[in-house]
Amino acid sequence: TPASVHEFSTRPFPEKIPHFDYDSKMKVLKVTQNGAIRWKAYNWVYLSASLQGKHIGALDIGNGIWRVFYRNVFLGYFDEHVFRKKEQSVRLETNLV
């Protein structure tokens, strides 16, 4: 039977995920229910619905381009100059070249 051949994992799985502190150079933002972050009051940057309620870190690399991280995982880039008008949204890019 499956129970006779099953082996329990030796890898520890914590009940609660430990708190993560972003670098002080990063702007920390909370992902909303729709999977986006609000940027400078009127603009939205869509990340992922799987990140809703989580905090992400945005690091300015110059010239209006930001690198976005969830904990220590790099998610992508966005350019804040792409916002042309109020309430326009953009998606995260993995490559800006």
Whether residue 9 lies inside any domain: the answer is no
10-residue mean pLDDT profile of the chain (97 residues): values are 91 84 93 89 86 93 91 90 61 63
Q: How many residues does the structure list for the chain?
A: 97
Whether residue 79 lies inside any domain: the answer is yes
Whether residue 2 lies inside any domain: the answer is no
The alpha carbon torsion through 83, 84, 86, 88 (nearest 10 deg) reads -50
Parent domain of 71: 20-91
Whether residue 48 lies inside any domain: the answer is yes
How much is the pLDDT for 22? 92
